[in-house]
A and B are shown apart, each in its own frame.
Chain A
Amino acid sequence: MNPTELERRALSAVSAAATSDELERARVEYLGRKSELKLALRQVRDRETGMTLNALRERLERAIAEREAELERAELDRRLAEERVDVTMPGEPVPRGHLHLITQIRREVEDIFLGLGYTVVDGREVETTHYNFDALNFPPGHPSRSPLMTLFLDEETVLRTETSPSQIRTMEAQEPPVYMVSLGRVYRRDTPDATHTPIFHQVEGLAVDEGITLGDLLGTLDYLLKALFGEDRSTDFRIHHFPFTEPSVEAYVSCHLCDGSGCTVCRHSGWIEVGGSGMVDPNLFDVVGYDKERYTGFAFGWGLERIAVLRHGIPDLRELWRNDPRLLEQF
């Protein structure tokens, strides 16, 4: 037997095997019990021949194992190639619910202010006229005090018309500094239409501390507006009048549709009114017993639905209460 010749034939048979069957046949032929090599090994008498033949056996075994792995891999590749799916077929549905758009905005606003170090306060919805009007410095003839605008339970009890009573209750409950937002339902005697619903949501903000300035109010609202409507928006602030703030300021953001050049959404002004704010009227500090010389503060109260309308283009506020799944699932 010529080991070199044997090795050449064996390796050539192994590499020529195209299936695992052919490979097995080659293994039996060259490494099987009756193979030339095995017979030769059995007859080995001298150490040197034994080492040569064993080395040859090991080389052949390795070559067969390698070829086997190659064939298996090729087999797997062939099978996988046949297992193609239409990747554009839909997946198996996993049920998913949706947070209401107003909840999403509520959380967003809460998170913005949590990030600024404010707490979130849960106010109450049924309020006394003391908290809803008197303590907030509403003058006796103010339109909001009329049963034409406000839902009364009795002469001294109302469904809160704004989230502002939470200002008084918060200040009564703690000493300054106060940094809080309070979000929730408010009630007005508004006939439902595309832009009014008798129940809607507001966010109230209140900061009372030493040295709070009008600039702090504008800076905070500028931050809020850009967080809600985009960093590229411009903001604008204009004087207004509310009973519980002095001075009072109305906040505007540049129109997201026309970018300030004028369209029907912004009534060709380039600006969209977002909500009211101002420096806390010192009369409120008198009510809650804060030192009005030492402390100043700002407050704001904005409608969450208004943010939804401006940011998401909701055309009719009543739809936010109809719970049509086709709408709920959009957000």
Chain B
Amino acid sequence: MRAPLSWLREYVTVDASTEELARRLSVSALEVDRIIDVGVADIDGNLDRFLVGRVLEVVPHPNADRLRVCQVDVGEGDARQIVCGAWNFDAGATVAVALPGALLPTLDVPLDERELRGRLSRGMILAEDEVGLGPDHAGIMLLPDTLEPGTPLVDVLPIREQVLDVTPTINRVDLLSMVGLAREVAALLDGELHPPEPEDPEVVDREPVEVVVEDPEGCPRYIGRVFRDVSVGPSPQWLRSRLHLAGMRSISNVVDVTNYVMLVYGSPLHAFDRSKLSGGRIVVRRARPGEALRTLDGVLRELDPRDLLITDGEQPVALAAIMGGEESEVGTETTEVLLEAANFEPLGILRSSERHALRTEGSNRWEKGVDPHLAEPAAVLASRLIVDLSGARLTGHVDVHSGLPERPVVRFRPTRASRLIGMEVAEAEQRALLTRFGFDVSPEWEVTVPTWRARDVTREVDVIEEVARAVLDRVPHTMPLRRHVRGRLTKEQRLRRVVEDVLVGAGLSEAYTWSLVASDPRPDAIRLPDPMSADQAVLRTTIVPGLVAAARTALDVGADAVRLFEIARVYLPSGERLPEERWRVAGVVRGGYATVKGVLETLYGALHLELRVERGEHPLLHPGKAAVTAAGWLGELHPTLLEGTWGAFELDLADLFAAVPERVVYEDVLTYPAVRQDIAVVVDEEVEVGALVDAAREAGGTLVREARVFDVYRGEQVGTGQKSVAIHLAFQSPERTLTDEEAAELRERIVAALAERFGARLRS
């Protein structure tokens, strides 16, 4: 909402600059997005060059068909001659004048005296757009004839203005109004509040107003007022200017009054052309199947049976609280007006507004829950203005409701407030604050909530908030006492960091890829019923495809040694309402099977685990170069996925970490030396070297400290279909030095076992 300061200060007297005011509001009440400077610059006496003038004489310009030469009294004694291009006035008109030297917001240089087609012009008669008071340039501004020529224009119109652009939070619809903002300013800056106190026009020639509310839950209150002899026309300049500064468009006096009063009180109103209401009555009800309404924006809307409507008993005439119908719109020919000052239930309005994708100044307030008590002052002020501005007579009034809500009463403990805030706030101050915010506080601290906060403040803590926000910038910064805390990561969290660090150390960079993907290898992966895009429709059950895409990005920008990993969740269908969320680590690295296996050996080593793999298969992997482990899989990426040779892996972290020892226990490898021996055995090509190593360990028993393949040779010397596998063996006992004989015997046993199980023969 945009709140022009001159308007706000009409309702509250406060000794504070705009900046101070904005600061207090932003700390304690609502977000102040910015302060907008509008209109004429206030420098070097510039404002003094804008005056009220009275046109004494107007004659056609002898040398120009479209110009006229005016004599204007600006209170200087002698009249000024001003050449003017506007035609919407005659002698006797009261106008706004800028004198030579004036800086206008629309011009780069000061106004000067100059001849226009041979006639001297000593100033300018102003249109509203020339001083930031409106969009109109069709004619000059006409001011009330009661004004004295020479009156400073700034006293009459907000030509020099600052506007607060504010956004209240969803619970503070009361601040979407000038009165609400003024009350807040008065309370926070100890100002004096003067809300408008309009005098209700008298009802003359009273006639009945028929209003039937068939859905009192949707419409708890409906004030209907009828006006006759309405003369619809342009609004006076002050009204046009205020609406313009508040960001609204001037339409006509009657419509402008409804918008203006909405800005004053925050309770939206609507005006119908009563002659367009068949039967001249109002029925508030839900829509019927098949009904439609052409709204003011020209759109024909099919109505939903949940939509609340204002009807004339036969046809819908407004989508209640959101937008009026085109048919009953007030126009220049309107002479009878039915003014609606009502109250609507928020949730239904919100739903209708969403259904019709139609948000208006009205719906924006109603959907947050407007105080039903406001309908009455809104009706009064609007009536006053309609009567004053359009010459109408108020001829009828009805107020339909079945009792207005009681004000909540809350038991409040000022000591509790001080305790929660963490600062002693004197009881007298608490009482004064609450009172200024509009709460009634009994001597026993029974707090009665003002009507405009009744939805938001219902509990003691809500009242505490009122005190807390007012003193927020005085609250001392402290730390919780923390008598009982245990600040440490869980084992899994610590190990996740180890995994991250080891992989980074191994040259892998961490990527972040989307959890929502276009498709997933698992056919039962969870699919969003209404995804934002086809690219993000499925909750992934594997991370590697995302990393493949990331690797492709890296290739596209010219990187070559691409090594990526990611630690993230996957979402496995569980048969329950919620999927099973598992942490996974996955990687994609340039290079073949040996590269990725090397990465995992490093990772497992860092975790004090032995990487054991078996031949396996996975749809993302090369069928001949795929392996599984207890925690996941690794292998060479299927060549159709990414050009070049790539390794990939994906491990379930809980499975991986399950085997990580709680602590590593000392093993004596220092006291007695190891005996090292290398053997080379020739076996059939199909024999996996892992099986040889396992068999060697099994045969050698606990004294085998190390058994590791370090070379595989194929060639003429070993024959086709066979390979020679070189294995490094180390024997060691923690209790004694092994003798050469013992080592030889272990070696014999191992060679014999390999011969027996794999037909291995020792290569000399």
Contact = CB atoms under 8 A, between A and B. Distances in A.
Given A114-B487, A125-B581, A241-B172, A96 B507 contact: yes
A285 to B, nearest CB: 11
Given A148-B354, A215-B478, A241-B170, A323 B554 contact: yes
Contacts of B26: 238
B702 to A, nearest CB: 37
A155 to B, nearest CB: 10
A238 B532 contact: no
Q: Helix, strand, loop or mixed for chain A's interface?
A: mixed
B489 interface: yes
A126 B581 contact: yes
A45 to B, nearest CB: 58
A141 B347 contact: yes
A168 to B, nearest CB: 14
Contact of A325 (B351, B465, B554): B554
Contact of A213 (B169, B478, B571): B478
Interface in B544-593: 550, 553-554, 557, 559, 561-565, 568-569, 571, 577-579, 581, 583
A236 B581 CA distance: 38
Interface string A159-184: 00000000000000000010100000
Given A239-B29, A324-B557, A124 B503 contact: no
A212 B487 contact: no
B488 interface: yes
B481 interface: yes
B504 A98 contact: yes
A324 B553 contact: yes
Contacts of B530: 147, 152
A157 B583 CA distance: 20
B457 to A, nearest CB: 10
A326 B554 CA distance: 8
A117 B482 contact: yes
Given A198-B516, A199-B514, A246-B465, A223 B509 contact: no
B421 A216 contact: no
A97 B480 contact: no
Nearest to B471: A214
Nearest to B555: A325
A119 B504 contact: no
Contacts of B507: 95-97
B357 to A, nearest CB: 10
A100 B512 contact: yes
A240 B564 contact: no
Interface string B732-750: 0000000000000000000
Contacts of A250: 31
Contacts of B492: 122
Contact of B493 (A120, A127, A146, A179): A120
Nearest to A156: B577
B541 to A, nearest CB: 13
B472 interface: yes
B564 A219 contact: no
A325 B469 contact: no
A213 B422 contact: yes
Given A118-B487, A124-B581, A126-B581, A282 B461 contact: yes
A90 interface: no
A215 B421 contact: yes
B515 interface: yes
A91 interface: no
B486 A239 contact: no
Contacts of A269: 34
A215 B477 contact: yes
B513 interface: yes
Contacts of B351: 141
Interface of A: 95-100, 102-103, 107, 110, 113-120, 122, 124-128, 140-143, 146-148, 151-154, 156-157, 177, 179, 185, 187, 189, 191, 198-199, 207, 209, 211-216, 218-220, 222-223, 236-241, 246-247, 249-250, 267-269, 279, 281-282, 296, 320-326, 328-329
27 contacts: A96-B507, A97-B508, A98-B510, A100-B511, A110-B489, A115-B487, A119-B486, A120-B489, A125-B515, A126-B579, A151-B532, A157-B578, A198-B536, A215-B423, A215-B475, A215-B476, A218-B478, A223-B479, A236-B27, A236-B473, A239-B28, A239-B472, A241-B172, A267-B33, A279-B461, A324-B553, A325-B562
Interface of B: 26-31, 33-34, 169-172, 346-347, 350-351, 354, 367, 419-423, 459, 461-462, 464-465, 468-469, 472-473, 475-490, 492-493, 497, 500, 503-516, 526, 528-532, 536, 539, 550, 553-554, 557, 559, 561-565, 568-569, 571, 577-579, 581, 583
